[in-house]
Amino acid sequence: MSRTSAAPAPDGATVATLVTPGDTTHWINGLEDRTHTVRLVKRNDTPGDTSTFGGFVAAPGGAVLSKPAARSRQIEFIGDSLTVGYGNLSTSRTCTWDQVKRTTNSDVSYGALTARQLNADYQINGYSGLGMVRNYNGGQPDVTYRTFYDRALLNVSGDVWQNPGTWRPQVVVVNLGTNDFSTAVNPGEPWTPDSLAAGYRSAYGEFLQKLRTRYGAGTTIVAVGAGQYAGHVQQVVKARNDAGDNGVRYWFLDDSGLDFLGCDWHYSARDDRVIADRLTSFIAGLPTSW
């Protein structure tokens, strides 16, 4: 095990960004003799690059205290690269794959920012490039986002995340559809524009039922519509409401004023802040019993 040191930083500031740190104990030195809170964030979605956090170690004379109490509010965000925060810190829309990894920061994605504004614990379950029934440009046709939703380790087939019983989100935000519809259907794909739309709506309805079964009637599910898939999401929500599930709400993601300056025309960090403000206002008005 190697040991590395970091220069002290004011509380509330980022001390270090660890890039492929390896088997390492990372020490934070120069702290005052008092209680400190440490927050560790995995910034990107790298399903092929799984990592393990081994826990905290106290320096001589110090102690690791009990973890903070969980917040009573919980939000789950489900989506693709736009939810992950893909390349949102980039200064250019043109990025190499390494630059995408280095400039992706889920900690400043719209989901993370929304949760912080609402003082909620959160999960971001995002996977770049995948859709509800069709992936970006028809890639990886044997899998979709739904293939991976139940997994803890996305690169391990058959893996299933075990809810410890403490994850009971009052709000689940689903934003899937960009990859299904953003590229034209290629020759050889098993879709026509009409069958793709119908398949998307059918799978979306099934996925909402899966979430309802998992979390119960007390969870509000926010189905996000934007761009080409907005109308389809509206239809799915109406069908759920007509069937008696009024806990599914439609939210139109208004992209007016966004600059899409992230890698490959994704949201910039500024865009994420704008979206978070709009989404926070919408969620704050829901009957969540908060």
Strand partners, 77: 124, 173
> Tokens for 142?
């044997």
Distance CA 123, CA 280 (A): 16
Which is nearest to 171 in space by CA: 106, 77, 278?
Answer: 77
Q: Do 1 and 23 meet the contact criterion of CB atoms below 8 Å apart?
A: yes
Beta strands in 31-187 (DSSP E): 74-79, 121-126, 171-175
Dihedral sign from CA coordinates of 112, 118, 123, 125: negative
Other C-beta atoms closer than 10 Å to the C-beta of 43 total: 21
Q: Do 70 and 121 meet the contact criterion of CB atoms below 8 Å apart?
A: yes
Quick one: DSSP state of residue 200? H
Provide the 3-class DSSP secondary structure of residue 205: helix
Residue 125, amino acid: N
The catalytic site residues sit at 81
Cα–Cα distances in angstroms (integers) from residue 14 to residues 10, 38, 113, 160, in the given order: 8, 10, 16, 32
Q: Which contiguous run of DSSP H or E holds residue 116?
A: helix 110-117
Dihedral sign from CA coordinates of 42, 72, 115, 210: positive
Distance CA 90, CA 140 (A): 26
Residues ≥6 apart with Cβ < 8 Å to 266? 81, 82, 86, 87, 88, 260
